[in-house]
Homo-oligomer: A and B are copies of this chain.
Amino acid sequence: MSQTPDNAVRQYIDQHSDTFLDDLKEWLRIPSVSAQPEHADDVRRSADWLTGKLKETGFPVTEVWETAGAPAVFAEWPSEDPAAPTVLVYGHHDVQPAALADGWDTEPFEPVIKGKQLYARGAADDKGQVFFHTLGVRAHLAATGRSTPAVHLKLLIEGEEESGSPNFRTLIEQHRGRLAADAVIVSDTGMWSETTPTVCTGMRGLVECELSVCGPDQDIHSGSFGGAVPNPATVVGRIVAALHDGQGRVAIPGFYDGIVELTDRERKLFAELPFDEQEWLRTAKSYAAHGEQGYSTLERIWARPTAEVNGIGGGYQGAGGKTVVPAAAFVKLSFRIVAGQDPARVEAAITQWVEAQLPAGVRHTLTFSGATRPCLTPLDHPALEAVARAMGRAFEQPVRFTREGGSGPAADLQDVLESPVLFLGISVPSDGWHAPNEKVELDLLTKGVEAAAYLWTDLAESLRT
C-alpha cells in the first residue's frame, strides 16, 4: 500500500488553497436548505453557482438537471484516453436547516475560519466534501501534466439529500445512460477520527413499515369488557416482544436468509479500531450497550441487520389513566438490512410473520414505505484498494476500514448503475453534521483534495485490470 505523497500535488494545492477556500465560503453563504420551501430559490442558486464553478474548473460539460423537487448538478470531463474507465462522483449541494437561535456561535450561513476550522452549515455535509474534488482534479492534472483526467470523470451533485432524496432514484433511472460508470465515488461520509483515517466500505439498507391493529370499533370500557376481548395494544406489544429472540437476534423466519456474514479479516480490522465504548455511549446518549449476542457494538451497528421500534401508540394518551380497551394501536418499525438481504424478500418475511402473530378478532394493516438496499464493497475489490491507497498517500499512513450503519442513496447508485460504490470522505464525528456549529477541519479538507488528486491515476489502472 503506497503511502508516498506527491510533492507536485501538495505544491499545487498549497498555491491554490486560498482561492479554493474563498470559493467554498462563497458557496456556503447560499442557504440551500432543501427541506424549507422558502429556500427553494437558494437551492437553485446553489446549483447554478456550482455549475459555474465546475465549468471554471475545466469540466467541458456542466448541466443543471431538473427533478420534481430541487435541481441536481451534473458535470462530465472525459479523458483523452478513450479506453479510460468511467468514474461517477456523488455528493449533494443542499444542506440541513440552521439558525443562530439553534445554538450556533456564529451565523450558520456566514462562514468563518477559527484556527484550523471552517464553521458553516454544509462545511462538512456536504459542500466541503463535494468541493475538494474541484481542486483535486486540477492538482491531478497539474502533477501529472495531463490536460484531461486519467478517468472519464462524472459528477452528480443532488439537491434533495437532506430531504430524503425523494426524486433521486427517478433522476438516476432517467439518466441511467449518461451516468453509466465503472465505479461510483460517494463523497458524503466521514472517517473514524483525525488520527485514524478510514475508508467506509458499505452501508446498511432499510425496510420500514407501519402496523395498525384494530380491535373494538371504538374504545370500550375495561370494566365491562376487559379481559374478555382482544386488546390491540396488547397485540402490538406482543409483536414488539416477539421481534427478537433471547439472543437479540431478529426472530422473523427467513430474515437472515442469504446475508453476507462478516469475514474474519473484517472482524479483526474492526476490533483493531481505537473504539472506546463509554465514549460511544455518550455520543449515543445511552446508558448501556445492548444487542445481538456474539457481536461487538461496531459489528452490531455496521454489519448486522436489526429490527427497531421507531414509534408506538394506541389508546389513552392524556395525563392520568382511563380505563379503556383501546380501539386500535400501531407500531412503526424499521429494519436495517445488510448485504445479501433483499428488501422485497425481507418485506415478504415480515408480512408472513406478522400475520401469524395476530389473534382472532383483530384486523390489521401493514404498510411498507420505500426501502433502501444495502451496499458493500469487498475489502479486496481493486477499486476499494485504489481508494485506500489514495487516502493512505494523503494521510501518510495506512488507512483502516469502517462501514456506515445508516442507509443512503449510495445504494440506489449501486443498484441502478450496477457499479461498485466506494466512499471517499474526510469528515470526522466532531464535525457536527445536522447540528449547530457544523465545521470542517481545514487540514482534513486539504487531505481530501490530495486524496482526490491521487485517486484518478490509480483508479484508472485498477479498473482497467
Contact = CB atoms under 8 A, between A and B. Distances in A.
Interface of A: 204, 206, 208-210, 215-218, 220-231, 233-234, 236-244, 281, 284-292, 297, 300-301, 304-306, 308-317, 320-326, 329, 331-332, 334, 336, 359-363, 369, 404-407
A286 B323 contact: no
Contacts of A208: 321, 323
A289 B241 contact: no
Given A312-B315, A313-B313, 14 more contacts: A222-B306, A224-B405, A230-B287, A233-B312, A234-B240, A236-B312, A237-B238, A237-B331, A241-B242, A288-B361, A290-B360, A309-B314, A311-B316, A312-B329
A216 B284 contact: yes
* Number of identical protomers: 2
A336 B405 contact: no
B309 A321 contact: no
Contact of A233 (B238, B240, B291, B362): B240
B308 A226 contact: yes
B237 A297 contact: no
A227 B315 contact: no
A218 B404 CA distance: 21
A118 B234 CA distance: 41
A297 B407 CA distance: 49
Contacts of A308: 222, 226-227, 231, 234, 323, 325
B241 A237 contact: yes
B224 A406 contact: yes
Contacts of A233: 240, 309-312, 331
Given A240-B238, A241-B241, A334-B222, A228 B297 contact: yes
B406 A223 contact: yes
A322 B300 contact: no
A315 B301 contact: no
Nearest to A240: B237
Given A210-B321, A316-B332, A322-B332, A310 B222 contact: yes
A324 to B, nearest CB: 5
Contacts of A236: 237, 240, 312
12 contacts: A208-B323, A216-B284, A223-B336, A223-B407, A227-B300, A233-B310, A234-B243, A237-B238, A237-B312, A290-B360, A290-B361, A308-B323
Contacts of A359: 288, 290
A302 to B, nearest CB: 10
Contacts of A316: 310-311, 332
Given A241-B237, A289-B229, A359-B290, A311 B315 contact: yes
The 9 A-B pairs with the shortest beta carbon distances in the complex, nearest first, are A288-B361, A237-B240, A223-B406, A241-B241, A227-B306, A311-B316, A311-B315, A233-B309, A217-B285
Contacts of A241: 234, 237-238, 240-242
A336 B4 CA distance: 75
Contacts of A210: 321
B360 A288 contact: yes
The interface centre, meaning the residue of A221, A281, A332 with most chain B CB atoms within 10 A of its CB, is A332
Given A223-B405, A239-B237, A312 B312 contact: yes
A181 to B, nearest CB: 25
Given A206-B323, A313-B313, A285 B228 contact: no
A168 B421 CA distance: 71
A361 B314 CA distance: 25
A295 to B, nearest CB: 9
